[in-house]
Structure 1
Amino acid sequence: MSILKIGGATVNQTPLDWEGNLKNITDAITEAKSKGIELLCFPELAITGYGSEDLFLSRWYPEKAFGQLKKLLPLTKDITVCIGVPVRIGELLFNCTAVLEDNKVLGFMAKQFLAIDGVHYEFRWFTPWKAGKITSLDFYGTSVPFGDIVFNKKGVTYGFEICEDAWRGDLRPGYRLKDRNVDLIFNPSASHFAMRKSAHREELVIESSASLDAAYFYVNLLGNEAGRMIFDGEVLFAQNGKLLVKNKLLSYKPYQVYDWDFTKSPAPSPAIDSSHNQNEEFTAAVCLALFDYMRKSRSTGFVLSLSGGADSSSIATLVAEMVKRGVRELGLDNFLKRAHLTISLDENTTIKSIVKHVLTTAYQGSENSSEDTLASARCLAESLGATFYDWKISEEVSSYTQKIETAIDRKLTWSQDDITLQNIQARVRAPVIWMLANLNNALLLATSNRSEGDVGYATMDGDTSGSISPIAAVDKDFILQWLRWAEEELGYEGLRRVNSLQPTAELRPQEQHQTDEQDLMPYPVIVEIERLAIRDRRKPADIYLILKQELDISPVQLKNYIHKFFRLWSRNQWKRERLAPSFHLDDFNVDPKTWCRFPILSGGFTEELHELDQIDE
């Protein structure tokens, strides 16, 4: 039985970086040739990047992508290259995979099902192709087949399911490819990262290789492409219901190439054992996302207001871990070169010395800050190697307070002006930390998490200030357990003090013993209400009936928590609209641009909460 060496190439692309994107592709093709690969598949929309957004609506953008495609033709001698590209026909744009071979285009396979849920809005730009339809397209004077096409290489018939195509159950194109006796199915994808998602992809690929009577090869984009979505660069190959190829995800490299000797009747071989750890997935994704965000924005590093609490400490640790992982994979010199960092290397250069250059932190204490949080922040920064500053904001708080007191002719008191006195402390921290970010040409990291963002437990233009909010897509309960995991499993001993503290904003006088959960509710309860209200889109009464069975909370208290969540969620939508961009990390998020749209002004669930109150306890 003849062997066809097939390969998958994952690439870290950037919209409008035509030169860089083309270099990643051509370098990958060169490496594939050196490995003897005969049939190579790139991910969906690899030429432009998936996250090109409304650039796809223009005429010139797809036309320029065609020009890039043409530049690849001379590289296709003795190799077949399948690569994602947008194709405009008249007023309609299609998401396609082009098949190139021996300096010509064999055809374009068009995507039949478009992703329109969660972070995806493909119908805004693309038109789905009709199953079974084939037409032709002019490619620089040559008529090329276009549509629902299958191809042949050395007696192996192969076809495509492009990303979403594979997730449509009985409607998926794979079943029609099965009827056409296809031997091999490629799935070029731009599938965003989410924790636990890789396991679902493995199931899809394995089951597809069995149910479709064809070997199945999956290849995904890589990296933080355009700011929010992260792609893990997963490459999977399965045959006869066995997973035979799986790569290490979330690489710092610009591209990766994986190969496999394909035969129609392979000898028995053991399946790959795959494991999935949610904490490790989260860590790897955020670290790569931070690295790409820094280098693609041409920033020299990050600045962080380090309070000594859970949120800011988790972000500081992730930046340090980013450096550690990047250097481990790329080497010191290549890490700095890829990150566009100018640091002189010598025998004394260490991970910590790079962290010191990349991460600058500051503890901004008020009259209500404690020695415990100062010690926590200092200890963590020193253990990571980060630059650390410590200053007081008391003078600024006093100045603003006195101005207002003079204007309104009365003293502000905690009994009457609680929120005002809390917020001014958080808000005056922003200008000076922004100054530090500007001085360093660095990105300011915002520290909000999803649980507190849901209910507006943040000061606008205070702790919400930032260029990017790395943990805004995950809940506080997850962050708290991740910090314990990072201390124990990643060896960050500087987190010991952080993990011993109870989360608190430290904005009220210390004798009031303020804690975040007293201000809101227990974080695990927020997680459960949020899951049902936002992800599952259930109304308050339904949430009560479900959680009444699941949580050991009195009915009266549970109703109060649900009331509070929906009241604060509705009231604080304007804050959510102004939060810094965040990475998509979970199976849902509350980013109003990419997942959860909700009216800024609303009736606030008045009738729905009244319905909740009528339920017998």
Structure 2
Amino acid sequence: MSRLKIACATVNQTPLDWTGNLKNITSAIAEAKEKKIELLCFPELAITGYGSEDLYLSYWYPQKAVKQLQQVIPLCENITVAIGLPVRIQQHVYNCMAIIENAELKAFVAKQFMAIDGVHYEFRWFTPWEAHQIISFDFFGTSIPLGDLIFEKNDVRYGFEICEDAWRGDVRPGFRLKDRKMDVIFNPSASHFAMGKSIQREELVKNSSTLLNATYFYINLLGNEAGKMIFDGEMLVAKSGELLLKNKLLSYQDYQIVSFDFDKGRENYPTVKSIHNKNQEFVQAASLGLFDYLRKSKSRGFVLSLSGGADSASIAILVAEMVKRGIAELGIEEFLKKINLSFVPKTDNPAKEIVHELLSTAYQASDNSSYATFQSAKGLADSIGAKFYNWEIADEVKSYTEKIENALGRKLTWEKDDLALQNIQARSRSPIIWMLANINNALLLTTSNRSEGDVGYTTMDGDTSGSIAPIAGVDKAFILQWLRWAETELGQTGLRHVNALQPSAELRPTDNHQTDEDDLMPYSIILEIEKLAIRDRRSPMDVFLILKEELDIKQNLLKEYIKKFFRLWSRNQWKRERIAPSFHLDEFSVDPKTWYRFPILSGGYEEELKELDSL
């Protein structure tokens, strides 16, 4: 004995989709049994999906999850299955792994530490379990142990650290598992995707295998579960500090299974090496996020106001990549079935045909729009196959402007009414593009990026209008370099005109030569200030003292940039509160609903910014 055929299973779940979630689980178990797997581990909260939010606080929701578990148990003959779900005991809800062996529920293991940083609010829903504590849980009349438990199969001892448990340094449960002589430790997780995060996980898994003297298994959830967080379905195995297994991330499949033949007496296994590319991770995650959002919202496609600039272009490319990657992994028939599209491609370029069915774009020209951006937008739409419409909004802008002029009894001028005259153009575009989205029963894609969110460089109810904001979680500097990468590395040649343009809102008269960075500051500077001020939560003085050493820029100009950032940040929190739901894609976010909360009304750092002048 001392050998065990182990498998990890990731699943793409959806809150309240009891039938679909159970199907994914049962299909994975059936495949595992066909492969003669002896021990199968799912991620945490796999029965309900992690993103169930305040549903966990109800009485009925955890109870129904336990009833779903009841349906899983009979399917587990001749296999051991560990699967995550919420368990309510009186007033408290616990995040648990249920262990089923040979169609019999053996025990529940409860999570001991809750994630409470960034996008996580687990203390709102779950109670941490106390180390060493074990109680008896009434499972439909049968007494089942629940708590801090370990297990054994084929002379292989195994235990669990559930997601956050493993990130708690010297107090992590893994050290107690080491003292109990575990051969295998599982980490079933619901760890949100962020660019570069896979590197951190690999280090955790490799280091854990050494520190805890065990073969360490990591199993993550998959897909865009509930709208914002995307899970990459990562599965890792490490022993003695070496990575032995890593799967393909961000799959379009409903579930994935990877197996590992564990041998207690074996010292050396073949190792694997992974490649990490932030640009590739971004397109994979955002494309999968759009795919799941489309099918789970039961929408019929996407609509996009395509300006010819970088932001809308990046979103158009993400839709095209969603189609290309989806049919490459699922095949045309299965991909179309998943998005509920009745369509038979007729050419040798099915991806382009499908994009034409899914994505409608529109160039909405004002008097200040240029031929260069029109050419850029049309060329890009044609290159990926999207429908392309083109109309003027001059009459609408004129109508609104004249009504206000009549009411005020004066003419509006650019010298006196600059902001209003800019914003009315963006707002005039919103009703008509929404109308197209409504007619198509489609999702309207919003083009806001994170840098615009920082400083409010966006028109509320104008370019912020939409159902989902795919790139609101990433900065503009990243988008600009990613587009250049996508043109060459992804073969998206339609980006040639986009990448030749300097970013501009094109809202002032053309002789003004308006550019985004003239209105604000260089996007690279915004990013450096943002990382220190928002990610690291530094004061304006700290930001200045750090950046004056790191950036080749005059100190007085740097001070002005820092003042501008903090002032614009403070006055535009109300806009961030109203931006359309966005994907969490980077290490941090400015989304107040998931990552960074800030008061809508505040003193605006007045005292802190005055301190800069004293230097």
Normalising TM by the smaller chain, what interval? over 0.9
Task: Provide the residue aligned with 2:176 in structure 1.
Answer: 176
DSSP-derived class of the 2:98 partner: strand
Alignment partners' CA distance in 2, 1:335 and 1:65: 29
Q: Please give the per-residue CA displacement for 1:303-360, whole angstroms capped at 9, x wherever unaligned.
A: 0000000000000000000000000000000000111112134465611000001110
Alignment partners' CA distance in 2, 1:144 and 1:67: 15
Alignment partners' CA distance in 1, 2:323 and 2:288: 10
Task: Provide the residue aligned with 1:8 in structure 2.
Answer: 8
Task: Provide the residue aligned with 1:222 in structure 2.
Answer: 222
Task: Provide the residue aligned with 2:472 in structure 1.
Answer: 472
Alignment partners' CA distance in 1, 2:119 and 2:269: 38
1:342 partnered with 2:339: no
DSSP-derived class of the 2:354 partner: helix
TM-score, normalising length from structure 2?
Answer: 0.99
Task: Provide the residue aligned with 2:30 in structure 1.
Answer: 30
Q: CA deviation at 1:612?
A: 1.4
Q: CA deviation at 1:239?
A: 1.5
Q: CA deviation at 1:610?
A: 0.8
Task: Provide the residue aligned with 1:498 in structure 2.
Answer: 498
Q: CA deviation at 1:269?
A: 2.5
Q: CA deviation at 1:20?
A: 0.1
DSSP-derived class of the 1:444 partner: strand
Alignment partners' CA distance in 1, 2:472 and 2:430: 18
DSSP-derived class of the 2:415 partner: coil
DSSP-derived class of the 1:610 partner: helix
DSSP-derived class of the 2:462 partner: coil
DSSP-derived class of the 2:356 partner: helix
Q: CA deviation at 1:69?
A: 0.1
Alignment partners' CA distance in 1, 2:342 and 2:458: 36
Alignment partners' CA distance in 2, 1:349 and 1:311: 26
DSSP-derived class of the 1:284 partner: helix
- 2:2–2:156: 8 Å Cα contact kept in structure 1? no
DSSP-derived class of the 2:416 partner: coil
Alignment partners' CA distance in 1, 2:162 and 2:348: 49
Task: Provide the residue aligned with 1:109 in structure 2.
Answer: 109
Alignment partners' CA distance in 1, 2:133 and 2:318: 49
Q: CA deviation at 1:3?
A: 2.0
Task: Provide the residue aligned with 1:153 in structure 2.
Answer: 153
Equivalent pairs counted in the alignment come to 615
DSSP-derived class of the 2:195 partner: coil
Alignment partners' CA distance in 1, 2:2 and 2:586: 43
Moved more, 362-371 or 341-350: 341-350
Alignment partners' CA distance in 1, 2:501 and 2:126: 50
Alignment partners' CA distance in 2, 1:143 and 1:210: 36
Q: How is 1:158-237 mapped onto 2 (pairs within 5 angstroms)?
A: 158-237=158-237
- 2:299–2:443: 8 Å Cα contact kept in structure 1? yes
Task: Provide the residue aligned with 1:305 in structure 2.
Answer: 305
The letter for the 1-side match of 2:571 is R
- 2:73–2:100: 8 Å Cα contact kept in structure 1? yes
Alignment partners' CA distance in 2, 1:267 and 1:355: 50
The letter for the 1-side match of 2:70 is K
The letter for the 2-side match of 1:325 is R
Q: CA deviation at 1:268?
A: 2.1
The letter for the 1-side match of 2:359 is L
Task: Provide the residue aligned with 2:384 in structure 1.
Answer: 384
Q: CA deviation at 1:240?
A: 2.0
Task: Provide the residue aligned with 1:401 in structure 2.
Answer: 401
Alignment partners' CA distance in 2, 1:9 and 1:174: 22
DSSP-derived class of the 1:88 partner: strand
TM-score, normalising length from structure 1?
Answer: 0.99
Alignment partners' CA distance in 2, 1:147 and 1:251: 33
- 2:166–2:174: 8 Å Cα contact kept in structure 1? yes
Q: CA RMSD in A?
A: 0.8
Q: CA deviation at 1:2?
A: 3.9
Task: Provide the residue aligned with 2:80 in structure 1.
Answer: 80
Task: Provide the residue aligned with 1:430 in structure 2.
Answer: 430
DSSP-derived class of the 2:503 partner: coil
Task: Provide the residue aligned with 2:60 in structure 1.
Answer: 60
- 2:78–2:103: 8 Å Cα contact kept in structure 1? no
Task: Provide the residue aligned with 2:582 in structure 1.
Answer: 582
User: Can you give the 5+ residue segments of structure 1 that lack an aligned partner in the other structure?
Assistant: none
Q: Please give the per-residue CA displacement for 1:142-196, whole angstroms capped at 9, x wherever unaligned.
A: 1011100001111111100000000001110000000001110010000000000
Relative to structure 1, the CA distance from residue 61 to residue 232 in structure 2 (aligned partners, 3 Å threshold; closer, same or farther) is same
Q: CA deviation at 1:442?
A: 0.4
Alignment partners' CA distance in 1, 2:267 and 2:59: 49
- 2:10–2:221: 8 Å Cα contact kept in structure 1? yes
Q: CA deviation at 1:265?
A: 2.0
Q: CA deviation at 1:101?
A: 1.2
Task: Provide the residue aligned with 1:264 in structure 2.
Answer: 264
Alignment partners' CA distance in 2, 1:422 and 1:273: 51
Alignment partners' CA distance in 1, 2:579 and 2:176: 45
DSSP-derived class of the 1:114 partner: coil
User: Can you give the 5+ residue segments of structure 2 that lack an aligned partner in the other structure?
Assistant: none
Equivalent pairs: percent with the same residue? 69
DSSP-derived class of the 2:135 partner: strand
Task: Provide the residue aligned with 1:414 in structure 2.
Answer: 414
